[in-house]
């Protein structure tokens, strides 16, 4: 796999470089509520700027349906990127052709998913868009893949364009792959995985892949209630995937899964709900579990304290609401306090770290790609990585 360093070892001054970044940040109207992914894109962009490249950044936001939608415009991202880079970053349209960008300058291409060919299942459609993207940086241009959060997608700006231009792995993608290789290789033991989030179905494949390789798997979040139901416990109105109960029962037979012993329950899904903390086997009818309880945090903390390697993906509760944030905070603080090599698997976990004001440098690595991280750990084929590893003509 050729890397950004390989590209920078050549003379890129005045050369066009298309950078695929992952700038899919959460927005409240036009306000970015977590700019972590934008910050993560800066080292590669700045390295290219410093070398005098003409940088065109491609990215997406959300899932627009079939065409331009102001709700998904990257305009707020262009503004924030410019603030962080200390220079104006114009937002340009693909339809306008090759942008005016000088050596050391940066432009951001409007949401690449506004073009339905980006996500098309038709190879020819994606290839046609890839050729248009390649044309933005000219015949001597290069492509740098730096959006780890999208490398599991076979999309025009991720996969196909790497077949049109000399392609290189950006610093962010390279760092992410090296971290995940460490987790899937021979990690220091005990190796503990913490999984949360809402649905078992979202994590079932990664659980089945990880269980033979880990020493303990701690389960929280909404997904824990399907496991509790598999033990025959009543879970009130908590989130339940009845079609996954048998799967959970089978997975519990490994003896490696640790479930909450107490939960914070509420009479409704709201920040102002009435709440109580109850044993996991005593959830009242009509109440829903929205966080793990303090005894569970203490039990998880004990396991994490002995761990040498930790991978965490998914919050322990509805951390966005203050009454249900203590579980996620407690587990995160336990990981920080441990001496383990610790990886936060992107997505909501990374957002929680920042939203709760926790020290990001307390973790060994915070991934920018939740879905991509999980698919890598499952052993899945990641098109955006595979295409970089192919022998280039």
Instruction: Answer yes or no: is 60 a known binding residue.
Output: yes
Give the model's pLDDT for residue 371: 84
Least confident piece of the model among 24-33, 85-94, 211-220, 267-276 = 24-33
CA distance 165 to 193: 38
Could you tell me the pLDDT band of residue 393, with boundaries at 50, 70 and 90? very low
Find out whether 210 is annotated in a ligand binding site. no
- 257 or 36: which leads in pLDDT: 257
pTM of the model: 0.86
Residue 100's CB is within 10 A of a number of other CB atoms, namely: 10
What pLDDT sits at residue 42? 97
Q: Is 86 marked as binding a ligand?
A: no
Query: What pLDDT shows up at residue 368?
Result: 83
pLDDT digits (tens, 9 = 90+) for 126-178: 999 999 999 999 999 999 999 999 999 999 999 999 999 999 999 999 999 99
CB 78 within 8 A of CB 56: no
User: Is 197 a known ligand-binding residue?
Assistant: no
Query: Is 248 a residue whose pLDDT tops 50?
Result: yes
What is the enclosing helix (H) or strand (E) of 33?
A: none
Report whether pLDDT(307) > 60.
yes
In this predicted structure, what is the pLDDT of residue 370?
77
380 belongs to an annotated ligand binding site: no
Q: Is 22 annotated as a binding residue?
A: yes
pLDDT, averaged across the chain: 95
The annotation status of 80 as a binding-site residue, yes or no, is no
Q: Is there a contact between 107 and 89 (Cβ–Cβ < 8 Å)?
A: yes
What the chain holds in terms of domains, given with CATH numbers, is 4-171 (3.40.50.1260), 179-377 (3.40.50.1260)
User: Active-site positions?
Assistant: 37, 199, 347, 371
Model pLDDT, residue 363: 96
Between 381 and 243, the more confident residue is: 243
Residue 392 has pLDDT above 60, yes or no: no
**Binding residue per annotation — 347?**
yes
Alpha-carbon torsion angle 103, 104, 110, 111, nearest 10: 120
Span of 124-133, 238-247, 344-353 with lowest mean pLDDT: 344-353
**For residues 312 and 347, is the Cβ–Cβ distance under 8 A?**
no
Confidence at residue 75, expressed as pLDDT on a 0 to 100 scale: 97
The confidence score (pLDDT) of residue 250 equals: 96
Q: What's the pLDDT score for residue 133?
A: 98
Cα separations in angstroms, 141 against 162, 287, 335: 11, 59, 43
Please write the tens of the pLDDT for every residue from 267-290.
Answer: 999 999 999 999 999 999 999 999
């Amino acid at each position: 796999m050729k890397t950004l360093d390989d590209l920078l070892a050549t003379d890129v001054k005045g050369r066009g470089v298309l950078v695929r970044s992952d700038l899919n940040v959460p927005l409240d109207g036009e306000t970015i509520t977590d700019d972590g992914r934008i910050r993560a894109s800066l080292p590669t962009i700045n390295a290219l700027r410093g070398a005098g490249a003409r940088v065109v950044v491609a990215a997406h936001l959300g899932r627009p349906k079939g065409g331009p939608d102001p709700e998904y415009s990257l305009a707020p991202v262009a503004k924030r990127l410019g603030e962080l880079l200390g220079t104006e970053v114009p937002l340009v349209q693909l339809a306008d052709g090759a942008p005016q960008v000088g050596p050391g300058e940066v432009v951001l291409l409007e949401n690449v998913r506004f073009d339905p060919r980006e996500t098309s299942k038709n190879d020819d459609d994606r290839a046609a868009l890839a050729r248009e993207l390649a044309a933005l940086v000219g015949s001597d241009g290069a492509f740098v893949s730096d959006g780890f959060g999208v490398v599991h997608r076979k999309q025009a700006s991720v996969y196909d364009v790497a077949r049109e231009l000399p392609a290189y792995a950006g610093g962010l993608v390279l760092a992410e792959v090296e971290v995940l290789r460490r987790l899937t290789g021979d990690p220091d033991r005990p190796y503990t995985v913490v999984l949360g989030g809402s649905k078992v179905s979202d994590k079932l494949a990664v659980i089945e892949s990880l269980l033979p390789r880990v020493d303990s798997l701690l389960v929280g979040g909404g997904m824990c209630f399907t496991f509790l139901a598999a033990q025959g416990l009543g879970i009130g109105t908590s989130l339940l995937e009845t079609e996954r109960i048998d799967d959970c029962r089978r997975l519990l037979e490994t003896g490696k899964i640790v479930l909450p012993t107490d939960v914070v329950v509420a009479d409704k899904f709201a920040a102002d709900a009435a709440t109580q903390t109850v044993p996991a086997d005593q959830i009242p009818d009509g109440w829903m579990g929205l966080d793990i309880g303090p005894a569970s945090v203490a039990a998880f903390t004990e396991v994490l304290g002995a761990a040498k390697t930790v991978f965490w993906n998914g919050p322990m509760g509805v951390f966005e609401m203050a009454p249900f944030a203590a579980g996620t905070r407690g587990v995160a603080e336990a990981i920080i306090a441990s001496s383990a090599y610790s990886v936060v698997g992107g997505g909501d976990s990374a957002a929680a770290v920042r939203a709760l004001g926790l020290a990001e440098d307390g973790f060994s690595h915070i991934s920018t790609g939740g879905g991509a991280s999980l698919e890598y750990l499952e052993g899945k084929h990641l098109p955006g990585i595979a295409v970089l590893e192919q022998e280039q003509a």
